[in-house]
Amino acid sequence: MKNISVLAFISYLFYVLVLSSCAVRAPNPMTAPSSSAESERPGLATQWGETRTSRVKNTHFNRANHTPTALTTLYYNNREGITTMLGISRYQPGLPTWLQVNPYNFVSIGIRGERGQFLENFTVDGKKYVIGENGHRYSILVRNNTNTRLETVLSVDGLDVLDGKPASVTKPGYVIAPYATLTVDGFRQNMEAVAAFRFGTMADSYTEQKYGDTTNAGVIGVAIFHELGSQPFSQWTNHEVQKRHAADPFPERFATPP
């Protein structure tokens, strides 16, 4: 009888273990999801890419004003995202070329791909759009079209390209020599190198990985300041522009002597 009792106990223990191993545990309601809903958004953001050589040095620059002389925004996304943002009926293929910051044309900006080509871009209702591709590297170009130095503060996904922190126009930027072109390849790591800009998913973006926030993903900001004592476009005032638009091509019927 004792042997039968032992066998019964072993059988019962085995039965309990089998049931325990097959049981499905209910999820813990306090467990946070592995990724935020923000990181699962569709479209492109910018990743912290590979290290690239980019040497800079400090210089002195006194701004003429505390507010930017010019401020512009570029919206970037993949082609599907851009067509959705605009609406398919308004989407027209753009050109790979420079974009103008303001009507005076004293600064031009461009987004260049990893093969050296400008990315397709266009302007609709005053808004500037650039089409990127997941996994591809890109650079931001700012061309100074004036005979004086300019300073530009740049942001990507709402982060300053110099320190990787939330961007502000009060922060220092890059100084561009007269008639020169600045090329910014990535987020600055030190005075010798940057982390390349690469288009990627929201989940893999620098802003998500660093701050867990993709609110400002998909946007590039360009703020321009002119130097104290310089007047790079002083002749082209609003008054002068209005006079140009008011010019009459036929003020008199016949020519008269000077």
The pLDDT of residue 17 is above 50: no
pLDDT the model gives residue 99 = 83
Lowest mean pLDDT among 1-10, 123-132, 215-224, 235-244: 1-10
Task: Give the residues across from 29 on adjacent strands.
Answer: none
User: What's the whole-model pTM score?
Assistant: 0.75
Residue type, 38: E
Q: Give the residue among 119, 109, 138, 118 at the shortest CA–CA distance from 199.
A: 138
Q: Give the residue among 206, 160, 152 at the shortest CA–CA distance from 183.
A: 152
pLDDT the model gives residue 73 = 94
State pLDDT tens for residues 68-89: 999 999 999 999 998 888 876 6
pLDDT the model gives residue 33 = 40
Coil, helix or strand for 198? strand
State pLDDT tens for residues 138-191: 999 999 999 999 999 999 999 999 999 999 999 999 999 999 999 999 999 999
State pLDDT tens for residues 208-252: 999 999 999 999 999 999 999 887 665 555 566 678 888 888 777
In angstroms, rounded to a whole number, what is the distance separating the alpha carbons of residues 10 and 54?
72
